[in-house]
A and B are shown apart, each in its own frame.
Chain A
Amino acid sequence: MNLGPHADFIVAAYAVTLFVVAALAAWVLLDYSAQRRILGDLEERGVTRRSRRKG
């Protein structure tokens, strides 16, 4: 594919877009697995969202 004399700019534009989208997706995924892990920890320790009814 011939990108003409300004190929560098075209490649750079696509690269930046890819990088930003990938960084965004990575952030979302990493955040998700971190939250899931913390939730798993808390649930294991028996912490619930509703308060335990007292007696």
Chain B
Amino acid sequence: MAVIDLANPTRFLRIVDRVLPWLIAATVVLFAVGLYRALNAPDDYQQGATVKIMFLHVPAAWLGMFGWVLMSVAALGTLVWRHPLADVSGKAAAPIGAAFTFICLVTGSLWGRPTWGTYWVWDARLTSMLVLLLLYLGVLALYWTAEEPGRGARAAAILSLVGAVNLPIIKFSVDWWNTLHQPASVFRIGGSTIDPSLLTPLLIMALAFTLLFIALHLAVMRNEILKRRIRSMRLMQAQEAHA
């Protein structure tokens, strides 16, 4: 089935209605397996049981970044290829990506307190994630203040692309800044290579969270399409009342 087939909103809605229950079921199963493996994973030799936070924190980080990538691709779809559902996809990705970035920051902070002794550290990765969250909040603010869905979508698409260009620059400059001000003591997170007994649960949880992202994304897209339908029906109603 070509991507072009998904361009028709009605057909898209039908596909989502069929696919979503299976997707949710698969997500639940994966979470069940993943959580079982995660909670029974061995303790890290340095961090003890707190390594279990990694199974939340790392997938959240990956999906937070993935959300912005999705928004950027959707932005190209909106601005360049004029795919009808591209701006719906971008708008749907924003709150979900922001939520995962938030989860990443909070779980990272809770992981940091017992392992590093502090809730927050201006570590290059944490700081870049914080700036990513700010960019997400900016895009959400744009969508929120737009009067017409279409107008806000195009502005947000541009911001998504500008952000995509800027994210590597921000990452680089935060790295630079972080190495200028060396922290007082050197913090290490366990070993650099992850043991398979920890890696497998991590990958299962990552997959589970990814399916969750996709399920939520499709559901939000569905809601957005319904909202636009309602809007055009109301406009039509108002027009005909004046006819």
Binding site for B on A (CB under 8 A): 1-7, 9-10, 12-14, 16-17, 20-21, 24-25, 28-29, 31-32, 35-36, 38-39, 42, 47-52, 54
Chain A hits for B106, CB < 8 A: 13, 16
In chain B, positions 79-121 with a C-beta closer than 8 Å to chain A are 95-96, 99, 102-103, 106-107, 110-111, 113-114
Check A20 against B50 for contact (C-beta < 8 Å). Answer: no
Cα of A24 to Cα of B56 in the assembled complex, Å: 16
Check A6 against B49 for contact (C-beta < 8 Å). Answer: yes
- Selected A-B contacts with CB under 8 Å, 9 pairs: A3-B49, A3-B52, A17-B103, A24-B95, A31-B223, A32-B222, A35-B230, A42-B233, A47-B237
Check A9 against B236 for contact (C-beta < 8 Å). Answer: no
Chain A hits for B39, CB < 8 A: 1
**Shortest beta-carbon distance from A25 to chain B in Å:** 7
**Shortest beta-carbon distance from B178 to chain A in Å:** 24
Count CB-based A-B contacts (< 8 Å).
95
Query: With A12-B110, A16-B107, A16-B110 known to touch, is A21 a contact of B212 (CB < 8 Å)?
Result: yes
Cα of A29 to Cα of B222 in the assembled complex, Å: 11
Complex interface bits, B43-57 against A, C-beta within 8 A gives 1, otherwise 0: 100001110110011
Check A13 against B111 for contact (C-beta < 8 Å). Answer: yes
Residue of A25, A28, A54 most packed against chain B (CB within 10 A):
A28
Q: Verify if B60 is at the interface (C-beta below 8 Å from A).
A: yes
Chain B hits for A5, CB < 8 A: 48, 114
Looking at the complex, which one of B50, B103, B230, B243 makes contact with A10 (CB distance below 8 Å)? B50
Cα of A32 to Cα of B40 in the assembled complex, Å: 37
Check A48 against B233 for contact (C-beta < 8 Å). Answer: yes
Cα of A24 to Cα of B102 in the assembled complex, Å: 12
Cα of A18 to Cα of B49 in the assembled complex, Å: 19
**Shortest beta-carbon distance from B144 to chain A in Å:** 14
